[in-house]
Amino acid sequence: MGTFVRICRYISKNWPLFLVSVICIFISAIVSVQIPLLTRAAIDNVIIPLAESRLEIELGKSTLLILVLEITGFTVVVGLFSFIQRYANTYFSQKVVYDIRNDVFVSLQDQSFAFYDKTHTGQLLSKVTTDMDRIRRFLGFQLTFLMTSIVLLVVTLYTMFSINTMLTLSLLPIMPCIFATFYSFGKKIRPLFTQMREQYGSLTSVLHEAITGIRVVRAFAQEDFERKKFTSKNDKYFQTSLASARIRAFYIPLVGFLIGLGTIIIFYRGGSEVINGTLTIGDLVAFNAYLAMMIMPMRFFGMFISGYHRTMAAGHRIFEVMDTETEIKEKPDSLTLPKLKGHVKFENVSFSYEKGRPTLKNITFEAKLKETVALLGATGSGKSTIIRLIPRFYDVSSGKITIDGYDVRNVKLKSLREQIGIVAQETFLFSMTIKENIAYGKPEAKMDEVVAAAKAAKAHEFISALPRGYDSKVGERGATLSGGQRQRIAIARALLMNPRILILDDSTSSVDVETEYEIQQALHTLLKNRTAFVITQRVSTIRNADKIIVLEKGEIVEEGVHETLMAKKGIYCQIYQTLYETQKPVVETTYERASSKQEEAEK
């Protein structure tokens, strides 16, 4: 019931529309039951007397015309209120789902990185789309139809009792059988629906990975592997769907059979009473019409129970996301950071993504004002983890990180992150214009600010060469641009914010050495007034850093400037020489070109 109660809370926020729908349902039901009564009057008071010549033809025809017009009028009224009810209910159901969808999205935006580390994207997409649509259909059709069925059933039974009590009582024993069938059906079908929702999410995850990673799949000729993986998930979903279909195939016809028994009872007992003269033909026709009106609600109960359990399974998955507590929380008394200067200190910081497997161990260092710190080490040494802790994407396991003396756990996240510019290793661009992507962190930026940032990142030239310049739209994830172009736009996006702390996570890995040199020359001036953390394999970037920190297995093994560390002949010296030998041909060519350009400029 917890899931249903929570859905009802959203319903209560839109109760006026819900009330309009309920009123229309009630009026439609009341008016609908009048139509068989008018039909009875037409048969008993006009058609049969005319057939037996007990009524003047002209009077009979005029009376029949009046009854037909009344039936038409009632039908129009039913249609009108049905239209109002359907429109109000559609508006209401869409509004409820609109509110839930917004809350889910807000919850997803508030979740920590650890949440996304553990959750498949396909599962989330399935919850926000398919599961949400399941709730919409339940509210827009099934819940309303349930109320319609209940009102119609009650009013119809009341009217049938008023026509013939004994005949109505003869139908009542069938009803407990029908409800028992519905209950058994729901009990067996709900676990299957829950499995189906989970399996559908897994299927969506595999599909999402296969589509987004299609280039890798093709490059390694793994189409067959992906087909088998998808087929395996698809087969599980198919088998569960078949199990669900078998249950429905047994119970739904059983309900139809029980309702058919009611028809047999009416015609046998009602026909006998017509023969005995205790029931009119009009009564029998009206009674049969009411039975037909009852069949629709009673058949729907089976559909409702099925839909209810599907919806509760979908709602549980949705609220499960909303109820997930974010690991990164702001304290009630958290402070709003003033404008930062950029003094960053790590004090005995340790961190683990998983318990028992430390990623960082007792990291202690400081980045003084306006210093550029290069982080160096093998894959898995903890470089990226360090820079993720600065904007508090994760919380330290022990120790603390301070910026200008403020512990990052004691400040408001927005005030912290809006003063940190980040260029990640995996560049992500939105399906918007280049201008909108650059101004993403500062939407109010003027065009000249956007252009200045692009020039600083050496992106202005290639942007200007595009057909629509800064108004050119990039494809999904920036697919229409090269890797180097995407990274330069990402650098421009970070620079536009004019952050006090700048984080470059291997941000020049997808550009050629000459372009990297040009970017570094542009960044050199900009880095003078901010603290920067740089992860890179490029020797030109490393040796220009104010401080170099070498990491190994989550610990700092060397720290200092290029010349000092080279003199130690330790790990840094080995790494640097390996990188230099690899990059030497291009580095020398690049610096020759740079020197040539400088000489030409001086002349």
The tens digit of pLDDT for each residue in 494-518 reads: 888 888 888 887 755 555 656 666 6
Task: List Cβ neighbours of 598 (8 Å cut-off, separation of 6 or more).
Answer: none
DSSP 193-228: HHHHHHHHHHHHHHHHHHHHTHHHHHHTT-HHHHHH
Beta bridge partners of 433: 473
The maximal CA–CA distance of the chain, rounded, in angstroms, is 125
CA angle 548, 553, 557 (to 5 degrees): 40
Q: Which long-range contacts (CB under 8 A, 24 or more apart) does 227-230 make?
A: 230/203, 230/206
Please give the Cα distance from 205 to 210 (Å, whole number): 9
- Describe the chain by its helix, strand, coil percentages, rounded to 5: 70, 10, 20
Identity of the amino acid at 429: L
Backbone CA torsion sign across 110, 111, 113, 119? negative
What are the distances in angstroms from CA 531 to CA 38, 118, 343, 421, 587?
A: 86, 32, 7, 10, 26
- Tell me what pLDDT residue 603 has: 47
Please give the Cα distance from 274 to 137 (Å, whole number): 45
Q: Give exposure, 473-498, as e/b (b: 16+ Cβ within 10 Å).
A: ebeeebeebeebbbbbbbbbbbbbbb
Please state the pTM of the whole predicted model. Answer: 0.65
First to last CA, the chain: 82
Low-confidence ranges of the chain (pLDDT < 70): 1, 50-61, 122, 215, 219-220, 295, 298-299, 301-303, 306, 475-479, 507-528, 582-603
Question: pLDDT tens across 145-169, in order?
Answer: 777 778 888 888 888 888 888 888 8
What are the distances in angstroms from CA 15 to CA 89, 90, 573?
A: 11, 13, 71
* Strand 501-505 with 531-535, pairing: parallel
Domains belonging to the chain, first-starting first, are 2-323 (1.20.1560.10)
Q: Report residue 121: phi and psi, to 5°.
A: -60, -40
CA angle 94, 100, 103 (to 5 degrees): 140
**What are the helix (H) ranges across 213-280?**
214-219, 223-265, 271-276
- Tell me what pLDDT residue 344 has: 93
Identity of the amino acid at 93: S
DSSP 8-state secondary structure symbol assigned to residue 45: I
- Tell me what pLDDT residue 255 has: 76
3-state secondary structure of 452: helix
- Tell me what pLDDT residue 590 has: 53
Of 551, 550, 536, which Cα lies nearest the Cα of 361?
A: 551
* Strand 531-535 with 372-377, pairing: parallel
| Cβ 545 vs Cβ 534: under 8 Å | yes
E strand segments, 378-470:
398-403, 406-407, 420-423
- H or E stretch including 353? strand 344-354
